[in-house]
Amino acid sequence: MVAIRSAAPEDLQGIRSVHLAAFPTALEANLVDKLDGSGDVLISLVAEDCGRIVGHVLFSRMDVEADERVVAGMGLAPVAVLPDYQSRGIGTSLIHAALRLAEARGADIVFVLGDPEYYGRFGFDAATAAPFQSPYRGPHFQALVLRPGFKPPRSGRADYAAAFAELG
């Protein structure tokens, strides 16, 4: 049975293997290592099956302003599930668990860059992210508000941790 739990330092190699298997290049695996090295990881959850890491999701620190006020923003990336374990709901469970944790830890808003069809099912949408300046602005740059009462700003900015810029 697949269980979701917080990642531990000794999981790094297993997490790396998941990203290397799920993505066509090592960019995401390297991103995880860089975020870990820079201390920008806020939430890191793994899916484990019989002692093997089969999925991983990471939320990192973001620098976010809404109408010139600092707000608590997190960035969802990367998320991956081993190919043999995909389409069994593991990605969904990882993302839901991480969103619950982000809400419990006081996040106002979570940003993601990805397929609107996939992330739309969690409530992310491009309209919520649209007022925030970002190099990723566009239909794939989406956000989900977690804090009740958080009003969409007239303008703002949402900057990912430095490791993302190094992705090139």
Instruction: Provide the binding-site residues for ligand COA, judged by CB under 6 A.
Output: 22-23, 79-81, 86-92, 114-115, 117-118
- 5 Cβ neighbours under 8 A, 6+ residues apart: 45, 46, 48
Pick 35 or 66: Cβ nearer ligand COA: 35
d(CA 141, CA 114): 7
CB of residue 46 to ligand COA, shortest distance in Å: 13
* Residue, CB closest to ligand COA: 91
CB of 5 or CB of 147, closer to ligand COA:
5
145 Cβ partners below 8 Å, 6+ apart? 108, 109, 128, 152
Query: Residue 17 and residue 96: Cα distance in Å, rounded?
Result: 22
Q: In the complex, what is the shortest distance from the CB of residue 131 to ligand COA, in angstroms, rounded to a whole number?
A: 22
In the bound state with ligand COA, the residue whose beta carbon lies nearer, of 56 and 71, is 56
**Are the C-beta atoms of residues 55 and 46 closer than 8 Å to each other?**
yes
Shortest distance (Å) from residue 54 CB to ligand COA: 9
Closest distance of CB 162 from ligand COA, Å: 20
| Identity of the residue, 66 or 128, whose beta carbon is nearer to ligand COA in the bound complex | 128
Which residues are 105's β-sheet partners? none
